[in-house]
Chains A and B, each alone.
Chain A
């Protein structure tokens, strides 16, 4: 329990990951699935970025006039997560476009109704 409280970033990102994962898997509504996907991705970004965080550290911008006594934060995780955000954005855009297609084809974005309608089509070819 103490560990969970001291590493509260990690605990929070794990809880968010679980929430996103379950939303993505169990929800019936396609838009809610996409939201779950985004929550899951964001939790990973949080987890990754906190790995580069140092208490009291400065942004790693080097200037000759400043003293070197202060700690810098690790810039690598932040830079990586920028890439991760780009990936997540493009995936979300693609998923939303697909949702529009599915809505055009079936007239609904509830997954169980889509499956129901497909079943009916298969019986009457």
Chain B
């Protein structure tokens, strides 16, 4: 049984090793083959990890020769295993899509470096999720930042340089604040291991109330910058809209989510809900989350470029996740984790759809996409599914998470916020439905367009179909997922 426990380390090592083999391969096909097989292998290993957790419960595994409080350890429970499954699965689909389209976005000889960066990015994201050591988490988050800057700048033009610099500055600000928060925690507890900090913090929290608040707010803002907490989201639309399509999908669906998982770990494992309820952090998160939900959608309505619409929609959806955390109940955290799943799958699909529409038609602004439904019916169909999920139509995961968010809100006695959830859903409909309706209907829109003229071959839209099926699957199995998250949150 102990042999099965090394899976997380194998996953990360495999990705890092293949990342640095990648630049040596000459042919494009070889790069694609190596990348897809590696990511598929990590997906299978993650599934194995989930099975191990199911058999033996959550476990720790030390990295290197030293034991836990001094050495670095990984903690693998249900949450970590499921997130690994999600991250590797979505990356697999995005890379698969990238096989057919990446050469249209970036130069031929940059493709191998692109996949190097994707592998480093995935390894670092998984590291953030697995780690049980705060400083180790910080280092992995820095690796995420640098490699995600890399996958934006690789499309070499004026816009990406500017957007990447903005992203880098905001991210560095965030990691500075995060490290300062960790330093404050270290100052009062003398530990960096999450479990050890929690043991010490329980003893000193009452006498060091100020430092607890300061460190928590520094960590919250630091991670908030990285996952686009509302007023700190300014880097997001530029970065996500100017990047290559596959990078936008990766950034929007995965890169934002790893800091969220880390924040949830910090909240429920390092501090514990009781300690945080003494501080005003939860109400701040709640209000910022609501502001993001509403204002992110309002900004999205006024955007002209279709990619920026989707990017602002991400800000709104991250608002939901922060709202769930801000409720300060276990139910809220569970639903936030579920929404991480729902949003990662849906947004990856939306960005890939929009990317292929832009690529085939050459248009950029959302008014130009009138009648695209006649030319690319399957792609717009997938887009429609994603849009329905974002708005919250039943049987799609967006509906399930909004439903549970509402239940969590009622359980937390915050009735007034139900109105905001409803308003945000309606605002989502305001900017998603016109794109879909103008794409399909309206006689003057589709006049002169030839049916399936910009159609993509079926193998190129297969990743989209897989993502759509996965999306509907997770809403079908939502109760199972929530049960797993509940188990994951209860285990210390």
Q: A87-B139, A91-B142 are in contact. Are A51 and B165 (CB under 8 A)?
A: no
Taking the nearest CB of chain B, how far is it from the CB of A66, in angstroms?
23
Q: A47-B180, A77-B186, A84-B179 are in contact. Are A91 and B146 (CB under 8 A)?
A: yes
Q: Collect the chain B residues with CB atoms within 8 Å of residue A8's CB.
A: none
Interface centre among B161, B172, B176 (most CB of A within 10 A): B172
B161 touches A98 (CB 8 A): yes
Q: A24-B172, A33-B169 are in contact. Are A48 and B186 (CB under 8 A)?
A: yes
Q: In the complex, A10 Cα to B119 Cα: how many Å?
A: 39
A51 touches B161 (CB 8 A): no
Q: Collect the chain B residues with CB atoms within 8 Å of residue A121's CB.
A: 158
The answer to whether the Cβ of B162 comes within 8 Å of any Cβ in the partner chain is: yes
* Chain B residues touching A, range: 20 to 34
The answer to whether the Cβ of B281 comes within 8 Å of any Cβ in the partner chain is: no
A101 touches B172 (CB 8 A): no
Question: By DSSP majority rule, is chain A's interface helix, strand, loop, or mixed?
Answer: helix
A41 touches B176 (CB 8 A): yes
Q: In the complex, A121 Cα to B149 Cα: how many Å?
A: 24
Q: Collect the chain B residues with CB atoms within 8 Å of residue A58's CB.
A: none
* A66-125 with Cβ < 8 A to chain B: 76-77, 80, 83-84, 87, 90-91, 94-95, 98-99, 101-102, 105-106, 114, 118, 121
A102 touches B165 (CB 8 A): yes
B186 touches A51 (CB 8 A): yes
The answer to whether the Cβ of A12 comes within 8 Å of any Cβ in the partner chain is: no
B158, B164, B179, B180: which contacts A106 (Cβ < 8 A)?
B158
Taking the nearest CB of chain A, how far is it from the CB of B124, in angstroms?
12
Q: A21-B176, A44-B180 are in contact. Are A95 and B165 (CB under 8 A)?
A: yes
B158 touches A118 (CB 8 A): yes
A30 touches B187 (CB 8 A): no
A94 touches B168 (CB 8 A): yes
B161 touches A102 (CB 8 A): yes
Q: In the complex, A106 Cα to B161 Cα: how many Å?
A: 10
* A29-84 with Cβ < 8 A to chain B: 30, 33, 37, 40-41, 44, 47-48, 51, 76-77, 80, 83-84
Q: In the complex, A33 Cα to B179 Cα: how many Å?
A: 19
A83 touches B139 (CB 8 A): yes
Q: How many residues of A contact B (CB 8 A)?
A: 33
A91 touches B153 (CB 8 A): no
Q: In the complex, A21 Cα to B179 Cα: how many Å?
A: 13
B161 touches A24 (CB 8 A): no
* B141-157 with Cβ < 8 A to chain A: 142, 145-146, 149, 153, 156-157
Q: In the complex, A121 Cα to B165 Cα: how many Å?
A: 19
Taking the nearest CB of chain A, how far is it from the CB of B134, in angstroms?
10
Nearest B residue to A95 via CB reads B168
The answer to whether the Cβ of B299 comes within 8 Å of any Cβ in the partner chain is: no
The answer to whether the Cβ of B202 comes within 8 Å of any Cβ in the partner chain is: no
B180 touches A17 (CB 8 A): yes
The answer to whether the Cβ of A25 comes within 8 Å of any Cβ in the partner chain is: yes
B142, B156, B192: which contacts A87 (Cβ < 8 A)?
B142
26 pairs from A and B in contact (CB 8 Å cutoff): A17-B180, A21-B176, A30-B165, A37-B169, A40-B172, A40-B176, A44-B176, A47-B180, A47-B183, A48-B183, A51-B183, A51-B187, A76-B192, A87-B142, A90-B146, A91-B142, A91-B146, A94-B146, A94-B168, A95-B165, A95-B169, A98-B153, A98-B168, A102-B165, A118-B162, A121-B158
| Chain B contacts to A: CB under 8 angstroms | 70, 135, 139, 142, 145-146, 149, 153, 156-159, 161-162, 164-165, 168-169, 172-173, 176, 179-180, 183, 186-187, 192
